[in-house]
Amino acid sequence: MPPNFKAAPEYATAKIAVWWDMKDCPIPVGYDVRRVRPSIEGAFKNLGYYGPVFITAYGDQTKTPDHVLRGLSSTGVAVAHASSERTCALMYSDMVEWRGHNPPPATIMFISDQVYDRVEDDGVSLDLARLQQETLYNIFLTYSVRTRISVQSVLRFSEEWGWDELLGSTAMFNKHEEEEEEEEIMISAAMFYCKSCNFDSQSLRKFRNHLSSRKHEVENPTKRELTFVTSDWGRNYPAKPEYATAKIVVWWDMVDCPIPEGFDATRVRPSLEEAFKNLGYSGPVSITAYGDLSQIPYHLLRSLSSTGVSLAHAIDKLRCKKMLSDFLKWRDLNPPPATLMIISNNLEYFSKFVALNQQISKYNMFLAYSYRPYKMLALVTSAEWLWESLLAGFLRQEDTFFRGALVKGVNLPECLIAKCAVESCIHERIRSSLRMYRLDRRLARMYRKYRLEQVEDFPKSKRLRKAFRTGFRPFHNHLRLTRSSTSY
């Protein structure tokens, strides 16, 4: 992120909410605790943010001296008690709850090392990045050591500080204004909270008594593990009005998701369009297929081209880079609303870059792949398909149950979709074989009837006619024996 990212007009006077982990970023020895709030506000004002600031400090307050708690509360900093192992989970759950009650524009700030401690393990930054793609807030970060930030982060933020750097910030506003604001803060002291017991009080004495009481000891502790609110988000939502008739652009990796053997290449485009229409998307569809065109049979390329699918040659090592480059160029030239779709198995590669861009300007996203990712992606999508089931969708038109479920908006599991596709293909082959078998039997009966009509003095008995019709040859054996006996 660029340093000193100045405030956008919509955030200049918007709310600012701060969640502070006192264990990761403690108050330095000898530092005046009453300067914490003015330092944070000063850092914001230096960047053009003048909105009201709400700060909550989390930590094991049984170990925090009284003068520190009193100083924080006197400057309007709310104090929340939480054991060290639960601090991150409580901070994040409170942030999610705050977002639900405070729609954007607003600014969110984390003072903690936990945001980036688990970037590679589906941590806070991953879930927060997914939240940001749905509802965009302005984000600031502070941590104990500035170099702790991970370059692999999928979370986009406006500014970052080291904790010592932030405490040394001074605002560029006159001293008279500062004194007035501090006096106003002194009037209304902040609350003390015990998150384990749902206890709150404005009195430090009552707060201390509660922490040392037996009631506090026997209360059930809150969850220690982080709860990711986006992990159970569904897929295949019906189209929103702004995307129903918007453009649909598809980037297709033909190496990861090839045309199945025996599948008519001219049906690829209709299959995709059919899947889009089932969800309510009727906008114009543009498809570009990427791969080493020298290795793909000519009849497939000709069939794809005849249906309006653009072909882009790219060798294996550069294929994904070429797709991503074209994807980002298209975004720069075409503002939303639009629906963008990536068909590939290299979703970890695409997900990071696309998720970062989705936190700037939001597009509707689709994905298709030949196998489901093994962990949650950073990219939030409106619909996802397995490649085989996506192509098989056009062949399942006789499957009334499946098509009825799609029309009614029922989100069937992908395993069921794939099973329906396979069973539909098998049933269609069985039905075709039965039709051919029945046709062959009818032709055989007609031929035998014709031959019987050519035989003179054909026996009229029912037994002989049945034997000849069923393919057994007792009639011919009977004739052979009769002729041999009359020759003597």
Residue closest to 122 by CA, chosen among 348, 345, 324: 348
Q: ∠ CA 391-328-270 to the nearest 5 degrees?
A: 20
Tell me the average pLDDT across 474-483. Answer: 48
Cβ pair 116, 149 in contact under 8 A: yes
Residue closest to 47 by CA, chosen among 135, 169, 168: 169
The tokens of 71 are what?
Answer: 């100083």
> Residues near 81 by Cβ (< 8 Å), separated by ≥ 6?
59, 60, 61, 62, 192, 193, 194, 195, 196, 207, 211
Distance CA 163, CA 23 (A): 12
For the chain, counts of helices (H) and of strands (E): 19, 14
Q: Which helix (H) or strand (E) holds 177?
A: helix 175-187
pLDDT per residue over 175-199, tens digit each?
444 444 444 444 467 899 988 788 8
Helix (H, G, I), strand (E, B) or coil at 217: helix
pLDDT of residue 404: 37
* C-alpha torsion 411→417→419→425, nearest 10: 140
For the domain with range 9-218, which CATH number is right: 3.40.50, 3.30.420, 3.40.1620, 1.20.1150? 3.40.50
Cβ pair 47, 86 in contact under 8 A: no
Q: Which residues pair with 384 in a beta bridge?
A: 367
pLDDT per residue over 129-161, tens digit each?
999 999 999 999 998 875 544 556 788 888 889
Domain ranges of the chain: 9-218, 245-394, 456-488
Tell me the average pLDDT across 283-301. Answer: 93
Could you please report the per-residue DSSP string of 46-82? HTT--S-EEEEEEE-GGGS-HHHHHHHHHTTEEEEE-
Length of the chain: 488
Side by side, which strands form the sheet with 339-343?
310-313, 285-291, 248-253, 339-343, 364-369, 383-386
Cβ pair 252, 343 in contact under 8 A: yes
C-alpha distances out from residue 35 to 30, 42, 98, 232, Å:
11, 10, 25, 42
pLDDT of residue 481: 47
Cβ pair 287, 226 in contact under 8 A: no
Sign of CA dihedral 318, 320, 324, 326: positive
CA 356 to chain centre: 13
Q: Is the pLDDT of residue 292 over 70?
A: yes
pLDDT per residue over 405-446, tens digit each?
333 334 444 444 444 444 444 555 555 555 565 656 666 666
Cβ pair 160, 48 in contact under 8 A: no
Distance CA 13, CA 51 (A): 4
Q: Which residues pair with 108 in a beta bridge?
A: 17, 139
pLDDT per residue over 189-235, tens digit each?
789 998 878 888 989 999 999 988 888 766 555 555 677 788 777 67
pLDDT of residue 259: 92
pLDDT of residue 463: 65
245-394 matches 9-218 in CATH topology: yes
Q: Which residues pair with 342 in a beta bridge?
A: 251, 367
pLDDT per residue over 251-275, tens digit each?
999 999 999 988 999 999 999 999 9
pLDDT of residue 56: 96
Distance CA 417, CA 402 (A): 8
Helix (H, G, I), strand (E, B) or coil at 342: strand
pLDDT per residue over 6-40, tens digit each?
899 999 999 999 999 999 999 998 899 999 999 99
C-alpha distances out from residue 188 to 74, 194, 296, Å:
7, 20, 73
> Residues near 354 by Cβ (< 8 Å), separated by ≥ 6?
327, 342, 365, 379
Predicted confidence band at 126 (pLDDT cuts at 50, 70, 90)?
confident
pLDDT per residue over 300-353, tens digit each?
999 999 999 999 999 888 899 999 999 999 999 999 999 999 999 998 889 989
Helix (H, G, I), strand (E, B) or coil at 108: strand
Q: Which residues pair with 141 in a beta bridge?
A: 110, 160
The tokens of 457 are what?
Answer: 């003095």
Q: Which residues pair with 162 in a beta bridge?
A: 143
Q: Is the pLDDT of residue 169 over 60?
A: yes
DSSP 8-class letter at 105: S
What is the CATH class of 245-394? Answer: alpha beta
pLDDT of residue 483: 46
DSSP 8-class letter at 112: S
